Structure 1
Amino acid sequence: MSTSFWKYTDIKMLKILYSYIDKSKHNFFFKEKLVEMPLDFQQRVSRYKKWENVQASIIGRLLLDNLIKTFDLNLSIEKLVYNSNQKPYFKNTNIFFTISHTDDIVVCAITDINEIGIDIEKLQDININNFNFFFTTHEWEFIHNSQNAMHSFISLWTQKESVIKATGYGLSLDLGSFEIGDDNTTVINSTIYSVKDIYINQKYKCHMAIKGDFLQTVEIELFNFP
């Protein structure tokens, strides 16, 4: 393994790249970039019915690839494998990443600290009453007693989704089975996860969760594709 890999793991990196979905650039992503990716990924993405989901998936992998190159890591997106819950990861390394998208934005984070998860949602009007079973009684009361129930709902939703992604359990872990404490932590199967608010802009709510304590400063950067 290259010395540059160890150089960056020693300084404890934690960086987020984000980019926007753009229909005018779809041919660039679909015809030029997707064909450069592993065949199984091409086949999976090509089955998506909405062009937005296709482009978001491609952008997510491109952001990850850029982060790998930024930190000069001895890794490749072609070497990704999947766990039993279909979470992609790099085998036999201590490099962790997470990707999320919503509406017209994609975010990708990478670190060598511990398992991480990120979730982003657009702030928009929705009927939150259909989602009470995803929250504990205490969380649901907090949402309805807040000054802006919709914003509080989306904030808690992204916190809990980020934790689920950090655990790697996927849909096997019920959102309503755990609670985010006032100290921005929760415990899943005797393991502590810490949650941090990630500001992108006023249109979105984004949170990142990490296994253990969240002590590292997060670097956030917009990445523009040609």
Structure 2
Amino acid sequence: HRNRETKFVNEEEIHGLVEKLDQTHTLYTFSQKYNVVLFQKFMEGNKLARIISIPKRGDIMLIDEFGSNMTLEDAIKVGYKPAYVLSDKPRSHHQKFVKFRFPKSNQLRSNTFHLIDLLLQYVSPRNIKVSEEDGFWYFHVRQSIIQLPMQMQIEWIDCLIPYIIEGKLTRRVNNSVYLDSSSVTKAVTITSNEYHTITKIVNETNSSIEEFIASAIRDKINQHML
């Protein structure tokens, strides 16, 4: 078009893509450099603030109870400190997740944030992914074992179980809890040409081969049910 290579896109497809991106938004969760995690609680005396943004580049941002934003650097300068120490356990090798859904809240001391603190305080931030959709925050926690103080184990399980939408929590010996995914792993054999095609698709869509295969299976199940 006018001596330039041009790709024309249907306007309806653009609106559909925008709507899809607005519905599901994956958030950057953990900064290994600064050892902070999204929604982590910081205290300065009785004043409370939480991390609200961990960008790939730029400043990590916090918000206080009065709605004022500040960078992590500025928050530390005025005396804010993490309210709890994050777990330093390495990332779990499992590719399965336990999924929690919490209603979004703007009140930094709300029950929603109390539940989130229970997760952030004991689960390794390397095992957590966060997304938001339709007024909810979704926490995807890799299948793993976490250690809890004896007095916290029952409260931790009882508080969080109502918010699980995939997977389960199982009490173990030595004051530990097993975050057990409800997923089942099955080996799939495909041709090399199919593999290269899938690889090209996931690179273009910024997803993974596992996500592509799971999505294809779900689509096939939905077609069958219809």
Superposition TM-score, scaled by structure 1 size: 0.28
More helix by share: 1
Q: Which has the higher contact order (CA 8 A, sep 6+)?
A: 1
Q: TM-score w.r.t. structure 2 length?
A: 0.28
